Structure 1
Amino acid sequence: MTGRPVDRLDALFSAYEYELGWCFRCSREGLQVARAGEIVSPEAITPLFACRVCIEELLVMHSVAQARPGRRYVQIPRFPHGAEAT
């Protein structure tokens, strides 16, 4: 894997159009969001939009999963945005 997550994040936001909207991951509204993926079912396709902070967290999760193939799914501790871990 090449590039730091922040480099890829900047590339994502410059390559894709973003809009003001709701982040599917942190549930905040009125943020700049970009399409981060979709949920596909036989009935419909639901686009998923995420803010920069959450996209960066998803990229880190992806990097960790790729670095440790035996541990495919990881969870980053969630703290309210702006709050510090204690």
Structure 2
Amino acid sequence: MFVQPIMRYFREPLITAIEVILKPLEKTHNQKLRLITGGAKSAYIDAMHLVTGNTTMCSFIKEKAMDFYEKLLRIPRDTFFSTYENRQRHLKLNPT
């Protein structure tokens, strides 16, 4: 597929993206998949994923997030990511 490399190029920022951002990407990916394969709008997208061997954008992003995290853990002489705790931050905004 020629569209997938373009849509999946910036996968690292998409790891932290919320559902509102990912839904239009998933919808566009499905539309392009139907366009390329010549599938009708009534065709089930899951069946098209099975036929083409592709995965959904959300599952691809989650898979690549795990790969990215494993790469971060393997950085030599760096203990930040191996001891990192995701704690609640209390940020204060300046009134404008």
What band does the TM-score fall into relative to the shorter chain? Answer: 0.3 to 0.5
TM-score (norm 1): 0.33
Higher relative helix content: 2
Higher strand share goes to which structure?
A: 1
Q: Which has the higher contact order (CA 8 A, sep 6+)?
A: 2
